[in-house]
Amino acid sequence: MLSKDFLKGLVFSGLGSFWWGVIGVIYFKHFSFVGPIELVVHRTIWTTLILLITTSIFFKWEPFKIIFFNKRNLLYLSLSSLLIFINWSVWIYAVATNRIIDASFGYFIFPILSVFFGNLFFKEKLNKRRIIAIILVIFSIIYLLFNLQSIPWVGIVVALAWVFYNLIRKKINVDVDIGLLIESIIILPFALIIFYFIIQNNQNDFSLSNIPLSLLLMLAGPMTVIPLFLYVKGVAYSGLGSSGMIFFITPTGQFLLGFFYYNELFTIQKLISFILIWIAVIIYLRDLYLNK
């Protein structure tokens, strides 16, 4: 019999993963005419503002100060802020330029690559199932490389940026929201400088002359923060293993949207590569289930 807390966790994790995989994609795709650079700027600005508000509401300034004024923690969070900025930028670029399927590739392989690098850097144990899953992921990338004669860089960058982001965050004990707030504060000056130059060149869509659009662009903050809170809440209730299984709703949603709704090009070479990835994911999920 599943406990109420466990079921709550599955619901929260499922909602967070669905938001990342479907709602977020539809939102950023709808505003792709704004341009990836300005969208990343808005994501940074409004995420920072929302987290400043939530930190005040939940009286979390004390843990914020403890983390922020520790040189070691600040160094790690500076590195992780660079990685999350890369992840956001490449993902939004992928959505805006009809490469949602490529981005989903990155999120399919991310958990399996995390296992590989966890073993490499933290000596986390690998069993046969995980080794097979890792080998299949490597084969799928090599297959794409040779058959498309180009590196599937969108998926690889999205995956690796997220893998190393999580590896760095393992080095410090910080709440997800506090960590993301500090990362956003670190990125914010650069985002504001970029926004200044966008305005100077009259390339901004956010302006007082178009209030409805500007208000909708401000939703880039909630689009980032809400699924994060939902997923973290899910992990707290049902554990990382179960939430890890649910996470695959995200790339599945992205893939289905890209293929069926946005009619993105999906070649036979990509299909073969994805089949290898899906087999790897099934093996990985089986391993998570057996070790849950």
Verdict on whether the full-model pTM lies above 0.75: yes
Contacting residues for 162 by C-beta, under 8 A, at least 6 apart: 83, 87, 106, 107, 110
pLDDT at residue number 2: 62
pLDDT tens by residue, the chain, 292 residues = 567 888 888 999 999 999 999 999 999 999 999 999 999 999 999 999 999 999 999 999 999 999 999 999 999 999 999 999 999 999 999 999 999 999 999 999 999 999 999 999 888 888 999 999 999 999 999 999 888 777 889 999 999 999 999 999 988 989 999 999 999 999 999 999 999 999 999 999 999 899 999 999 999 999 999 999 999 889 888 877 778 889 999 999 999 999 999 999 999 999 999 999 999 999 999 998 887 6
Residue 257, pLDDT score? 98
- H helices present in 201-239, as ranges: 211-217, 220-238
Q: Write down the pLDDT at residue 1.
A: 58
The set of residues, in sequence order, having a beta carbon less than 8 Å from that of 250 and lying 6+ positions away, is: 17, 18, 20, 21, 107
Contacts of 191 (CB under 8 A, 6+ apart): 40, 41, 44, 45
Evaluate whether 292 touches 241 at the Cβ level (below 8 Å): yes
Per-domain boundaries in the chain? 2-289
